[in-house]
Amino acid sequence: MQKRSFPITGNNLTVENSVKIVISDQNISLSKSSAKKINASRKLVEKWIANDEIIYGITTGFGEFKDVKISQKDLHTLQRNLILSHAAGVGKYVPDFIVRLMLLFRINSIAGGYSGVRIGLVEHLIKIFNSGIIPLVLSQGSVGSSGDLAPLSHLALTVIGEGYCKLDGEIIESKLALKKKNISPVNLSAKEGLALINGTQMMSAYLCKSIYDAEYLSKLADISGSMSLDALRGTDRAFDEKLQRVRPHKGQISAAGNLRKLLQGSEILKSHKGCGKVQDAYSLRCMPQVHGAVKDTIEYCRKVLEIEINSATDNPLIFSESEEHIEGGNFHGEPLALIGDFLAIAMSELGNISERRVARLVDGSLSGLPRFLIDKDKAGLNSGLMIAQYTSASLVSENKVLCHPASVDSIPTSANQEDHNSMGSISARKCFDVINNVKKIIAVEFLCASQGIDFVRPLKSGKGTEEAYLFIRKTIDHVSEDTITSELILKMTEIIFDENFLQSVEKKTGTLE
C-alpha cells in the first residue's frame, strides 16, 4: 500500500507537522500551485540568461566575486563548483533526524516559487527525501548569515552524487545510494546550486526539534514539580487562581492551572494543613512564575520559527509577477540566532529550578524525608540518590556555559563583503544541547520525587501526580539499596518520553497547557 504523501506548498509547515513527517517517515509531494510558481520563476531566469543579463550568483561569481562575469558555457560548472568549494564543514555529523528536517525545509522554501530553479530539481529533492537517503552533514562551519552555507553544501553534495550519505543505517557514497534508489545525480543549472545552499535550514531544523521537545518538557516539569511539592509536603496555596489573575501572564496562568489539576484531591496536601508552615521555598512556590515564563518564551520562539520555515531565504529572489530579481538578505539568520539564545536561556532556567527541588528532596534537614532518600535503616552503607543530585547540578552548570549568547558575536567573512554574521547555527546547536541536558535534569527530579512520595505512603498524591507516580512504579521500583544510578536516570528518561506517560496523566487531569 502506497504511503499517503504530504503536499508541500511553501507555506504549510508547522513545528508539529514537520516533526511528525520525519518521525512517521511520511512521503511528501509537490502541490500543483507550487509547481506553477516554480515554472514561472524558472522561465524568467532562462529569459535573463538568454539576454546575457548580469545577475548576482546566476551570471556572476559569489560573495567578493560578485563583479566577475561568468560566460554562459560555464554556468553549470559555476553552480557545481559552488557546492564543492562551500562543502567546508568540520566537526560531528548532524543527527539524522535534523538532516531530514533540513531537507524538508529546503524543499519547502524552494516550493514557494521564488528561487528560479527547474521543477526537476525540486522533484529530485523530493525523491531523495522519500527514498530515505540521509546526506552526511558536518555540523560546524556556518556563520549563519549567507545562510547555513557549509552544512547545506554537504546536503547538496548528495544531490549531485558527491560525498557520502546514510542509507538503511549504513554510510555509503552518495552516487551508490542514488543508484540503489534509481535516482540520477543532478547536473545543476544556473542559480540551482545557490538555491540549494543559501538559507537557514540547519538552524531552523535544530530549533524546530528543540521547540517541539521544549513544549513537552514544559509539561513534564509541571508534573515533576507537582510530585516534588507533594513529596516535600508543600502547599498549593500559591497556585490559587485569584493570585494568578492579578499578574496575568499567559504562561503563568497556564502553569498554575496545570499544577492545580495535577494536585487536585491530594491526600498528602490535606494531611498537613494547619502544620504551621507559612510558605514554601521559591523552587516550589514560584513554579507558576518560572515555568510560566518558560512557556511564554517557547510560544514566542515557535511563532518566529514557523514564519522562517515557510519563507524564501536564498538570494537573489525571483518575483515572476513583476518580472524582477531582487538581491537582498533573507538568508541572514538573526531572527533564529536570537530565539536560539532565548530558548536556551529559558530552558536552562527550567533545569535550574528543577535541580533546586531535587536538592531539597535529598537534604533531610530541609525535606523531613530520610537523608538522600534512602531508608533510614540502610543509610550510610547505602548512599541512596545522593549522586543523582550531583549529576543534575553538573548538567545545570554545563547549561550556564552553553547559554552564553552566540547572537551577540559577529566576525566578518568574504573579504568584508559579508561584514555582519548572525552565528545562528551556533545558537541553534547550543540550544539543542541545553534541551537534551534538561531532559536528564527533569528525569532526575522524577526519580527523586517518586522516591520521596514512597516515604509518605500510604497517603495518595493528586489526581495527576498519583497517575504519574504509578506509571513510573510499573517500571522502576523503590530504591532500597544502592544500584547503578545512571541506569535509573536513563530508564526514567525513557519512561517520561514515552508518549503514553503524558497521555496517561492527561486522562486523569484533562489536557495540560
Name the grid cell of 191.
Answer: 542559480
Helix (H, G, I), strand (E, B) or coil at 43: helix
Name the grid cell of 168.
Answer: 538503511
Strand pairing report for 164-167 and 134-135: antiparallel
Name the grid cell of 287.
Answer: 513554579
CA distance 424 to 407: 7
Q: Which residue in this structure is represented by grid cell 499544577?
A: 259
CA distance 113 to 116: 7
Q: Is 114 a catalytic residue?
A: no
Amino acid 275 reads: C
Name all contacts of 244-248 with Cβ < 8 Å and 24+ positions apart.
244/288, 247/289
Integer angstrom CA distances of residue 61 from 55, 74, 198: 10, 11, 14
Compute the chain's Rg from CA coordinates.
26
Helix (H, G, I), strand (E, B) or coil at 360: helix
C-alpha distance across the termini of the chain, in Å: 37
For residue 113, how many other CB atoms are within 10 A of its CB?
26
CA distance 387 to 372: 9
- The one catalytic residue in 56, 164, 216, 300 is 56
- Are 118 and 137 in contact by the 8 Å Cβ rule? The answer is no
Helical H segments across 232-273, by residue range: 241-245, 250-263, 267-271
Residues 6+ apart with CB under 8 A from 188: 76, 79, 80, 83, 121, 160, 196
Q: Which residue in this structure is represented by grid cell 509577477?
A: 321
Integer angstrom CA distances of residue 448 from 142, 254, 295, 489, 492: 40, 25, 24, 10, 11
Residues with catalytic roles: 56
